[in-house]
Amino acid sequence: MPQPPTSSRQLDLFSPRQWSRDAQRDVAGRLAEVIAGMLAERVRLVVHDNRSTMVSYRRRDGLVHYRLHHMFLDAPDDVVRALAEFAGGKGAAARRRAAGDRIDAYVREHRSRIGAPRPARVEARGSVHDLQAIYDRLNITWFGGAIEARIGWGAVQGRRRRRTIKTGVYVQDARLIRIHRALDRPEVPEFYVAMVVFHEMLHQAVPAVERDGRRVVHGREFRARERAYPDFERARLWEERHLNLLLAPR
C-alpha cells in the first residue's frame, strides 16, 4: 500500500489534504500503480476535494480513469482493494456491491475530512427589486433584527412557460433565502415581493417541528403570524389575478 513520502517525519501527522502537492502527486501515482496491479489494467488517478462524489471512474482510451477524494490517499489495504473491485469488470456484481459498501463505510468514518460547503453566491440587487433592502426593512420592522440569513435571486430560468412556480425558498442549514427571478420585473409590485420575502424569513422565526412522526412546516403559529402581516391578503389576491404573469418567461 502506498504511504506518504518520508522526506518529512511530521507528514504522517497530517491528513492528505494538508500534504504538499508534490506529496499528494507522489502518493497518488503509487496508489494508481497498486490499483492497476489489482485490475491488470492501466490506471490514471486524479485526486480532488469534491464535497459530493467521493469516488468515480470510467474506462476510456484503454485506461481506467479514477477520480478520488484526497481522503483515500492514506486508505488501508482493504479500502484500496475495494477501490479496485469497485471498477471490476462484468460478472463481478456481488464484489462490486461489497466494495461499494466498504467505500461508503470508509467515507462515513472520515467525513470530517470533507471540507465545509462553499457559501452559495447570492445576488440581492435585481434589475427592478433590491431584495436586501426589502429584507433589511422587514427584519427591523417585523423581527426586531433577529433574522440572520443571506438573501438573493435564484438562477436565471429558461425561456419556456412554467406550469408551476415556487416563488421563494428558505435553506435552513445554509440560512439562505432564494427568491424566484420571475418576480424581478416591473409588472410585479414591491408589496408582493416583500410578502414572499417575509414568508421565507418567517421560516427561521418559526422553524418546522416534528409532530406525530410528521414534519410540520406551516403550523398554526406560522400561519397566524403570516396572516397578521398587513399586505398578506393584498398579496394573495394579486397572485391569484396575475399567476399567468409569474408563469410566463421573462
Lowest mean pLDDT among 27-41, 152-166, 179-193: 152-166
Sequence-distant (6+) residues with CB within 8 A of 176 are 120, 122, 149, 150, 151, 152, 170
Single-letter code of the amino acid located at 167:
T
pLDDT at 124 over 60: yes
pLDDT of residue 94: 79
- DSSP codes joined into one string, 20-32: -HHHHHHHHHHHH
Model confidence at 20, in pLDDT bands (50, 70, 90)?
confident
Give the integer Cα–Cα distance in Å for 37 and 245: 62
Kindly report which listed range (16-20, 22-26, 173-177) carries the lowest average pLDDT score.
16-20
Is the overall model pTM greater than 0.75, yes or no?
Answer: no
| Residue with more model confidence, 96 or 157 | 96
Q: Return the closest-CA partner of residue 39 out of 86, 80, 88.
A: 88
Percent of the chain exceeding pLDDT 70 equals 88
Mean pLDDT for the chain overall: 86
Predicted local distance difference test score (pLDDT) of residue 15: 58
Is the CB of residue 58 less than 8 Å from the CB of residue 85? Answer: no
Residues 197-221: what's their mean pLDDT?
90
Q: What per-residue confidence (pLDDT) applies to 209?
A: 85
- Tell me what pLDDT residue 25 has: 87
Which three three-digit cell numbers place residue 175?
440560512
Q: Is residue 119 predicted with pLDDT exceeding 80?
A: no
CATH number of 131-247: 3.30.2010.10
Give the angle subtended at the CA of 127 by the CAs of 232 and 117, to the nearest 5°: 85
User: Does the pLDDT of residue 6 top 70, yes or no?
Assistant: no
pLDDT(5) > 70: no
User: What number is the average pLDDT over the span 63-77?
Assistant: 93
pLDDT digits over 219-242, tens only?
999 999 999 999 999 999 999 999
Mean pLDDT across 82-88 = 90
CB-based contact 44:66 (threshold 8 Å) = yes
The per-residue pLDDT for range 126-157, each reduced to its tens digit, is 999 999 999 999 999 999 999 999 999 997 66
Contact 28, 74 (CB under 8 A): no
Predicted confidence (pLDDT) at residue 195 exceeds the cutoff of 90 = yes
Contact status, residue 204 vs residue 173, Cβ threshold 8 Å: no
What residue spans in the chain does CATH classification 3.30.2010.10 cover? Answer: 131-247
